[in-house]
Structure 1
Amino acid sequence: MSSEFKRRGALKEAESYPVWLQQVLTETASARALVAGHQVFTGMRDAKLGAREFAAFFVNGWPVVEQFPQYMAMNLLKARFGRSEGEDMARRYLTRNIRVEQNHADYWVDWAGMHDVSKSKLLRAEGPPAAFALSHWCWSSSSSHALASAMAATNYAIEGVTGDWATLVCSKPDYEQSFPEGSRKKAMRWLQLHAHYDDAHPWEALDIVATLLGHEPSKEEIEGVRNSILTSFSYFKASLDCCL
């Protein structure tokens, strides 16, 4: 079998990817679940999360939301046209999605405002250092790590688990119905975009990681991808813990 990877199966099925990458997904699943099912999100789903916790959530999460296009731009700098199929895929993906992420920052500001968290409060970013470790990690990974590991950390791990928790929050009507009817669209726009759109982005990132590294990457490359995913989930959970 050639060490090169070319996906044949469905994009959103783990079995479509190399065995080593399937194993990485299995090994990181429990850490992903700790983020997706965090008390912050179950409380939000049930419309029982307090105002202080909501304010911390918006402030702690803002640097990652605001900087996400920059993470992608730094990774785009690593992808040279025509050097490999994986880099060409990454260029197309990153170029297409950078502007989308900028719009998401606007919707986050709108959502926070519905909970009386102003843009100026988001920009002040006041909180414990652990609350912002995720944004520092994403910046470090995107600026200095190999393209496959960095995209695994951000476009696969962060985007993927965000789809999980946004879907959880939207799985009951309680939170949406906690807003006056006339303001629900504005309040829910960020959540509904992440919960209900055809969530192909994390899978596309996974496809890029697989194409970049192939069927038989080195032990160091596999560990780089695995550790990047686990670190993203660990710092995400730490940020959420700081909200409580």
Structure 2
Amino acid sequence: MIHGMEGVTMTVTAGTEGRTRPPSRTQHHRTVKKELSETPHPAWVERMIADLRPDWEGVLASPVFTATAADGVSDETWRTIVKEFFCVVEAFPKYMGVHLGRTTYGKRDGDLLARDWLIGNIRTEALHAQWFIDWGVSLGLTEEEIISHRPGPEVASLYEFLWSVAYRGSVAEAFGAVNYAIEGTTGEWTRLVMPAFRERLGDDKYGLMWLAEHAEYDDAHPREALELIKLTVRDDDDRVAVTDAVRRSLELFRRGFDACAR
């Protein structure tokens, strides 16, 4: 045993002095992200992206976003959206925790990198629910109205589907439905509506934080999720399942927004 600074005791096991250890958590997370730099897509990923383009664009074409971009913010509609989708935002790190629990420490290809990426990004998601509430409060809701709201069938279907795929799908399916589909399109629709919300909320930095976090910086999560899909997909059947899971997630996302507009 070695006694370090401030009474901290460190143990050195014989034979381990020359072994490489991961750096600190912060440094290690940066290393994980570097290892997930974009790589050339194999043919099946190119086909998947092309096949899913109509569904992806369908989310962005929801009347909620086109009307907001053209005519400004409808407080009533967006209050409904915040209440309806809070369940998904609040559950997002939980979905990721479920598919974290299904990874291994390197027993399967890609699992170690997937495990470490999920650990880091669950921490990143920690404040998003509070920022989402702050957004709703800036539009005239109370915190109690948001957290006690029971979503309608369309958003509830998305909420339940994401739980299902996190529990029952492959790890690649979970990355596709949760991180690639939802985070990817959210990065794009928030950019569409951000100018209108800046005009509506002015310098309310707390009210704009959730939107700004998704719209204004280069959100690498969906790109990294696509790399993790490529690393963790198991076989041809799993590739088909990933495509189906992403499509279903996009379909339910669009239905949820359309229902809020009605």
TM-score strictly above 0.5: yes
Q: Does 1:192 align with 2:212?
A: yes
Q: 2:81 is matched with which residue: 57, 68, 76?
A: 57
* Paired residue type of 1:232: S
Contact 1:47/1:178 (CA < 8 Å) preserved in 2?
Answer: no
In the alignment, structure 1 segments of 5+ residues that lack a partner are: 1-9
TM-aligned CA deviation for residue 223 of structure 1: 1.5
Deviation digits for residues 126-181 of structure 1 (CA, Å, limit 9, x no counterpart) = 342123211111111111111001111001111111111111122xx332122243
Q: 1:176 is matched with which residue: 195, 198, 201?
A: 198
Contact 2:68/2:193 (CA < 8 Å) preserved in 1?
Answer: yes
TM-aligned CA deviation for residue 12 of structure 1: 4.8
5 Å-filtered alignment, 1:117-136, equals 117-136=141-160
Identity of aligned residues (%): 29
Contact 2:38/2:227 (CA < 8 Å) preserved in 1?
Answer: no
In the alignment, structure 2 segments of 5+ residues that lack a partner are: 1-35
Partner of 2:227: 207
TM-aligned CA deviation for residue 102 of structure 1: 1.9
Contact 1:155/1:201 (CA < 8 Å) preserved in 2?
Answer: yes
* Paired residue type of 1:152: G
Partner of 1:165: 189
RMSD (Å) for aligned C-alpha atoms = 1.7
Determine which structure has more spread, i.e. the larger CA radius of gyration. 2
Contact 1:134/1:236 (CA < 8 Å) preserved in 2?
Answer: yes
TM-score calculated relative to the size of structure 2: 0.81
Partner of 1:102: 126
Contact 2:59/2:254 (CA < 8 Å) preserved in 1?
Answer: yes
Contact 1:47/1:175 (CA < 8 Å) preserved in 2?
Answer: no
Contact 2:93/2:122 (CA < 8 Å) preserved in 1?
Answer: yes
Kindly tell me the number of residue pairs found equivalent between the two proteins: 226
Contact 1:40/1:49 (CA < 8 Å) preserved in 2?
Answer: no
TM-score calculated relative to the size of structure 1: 0.87
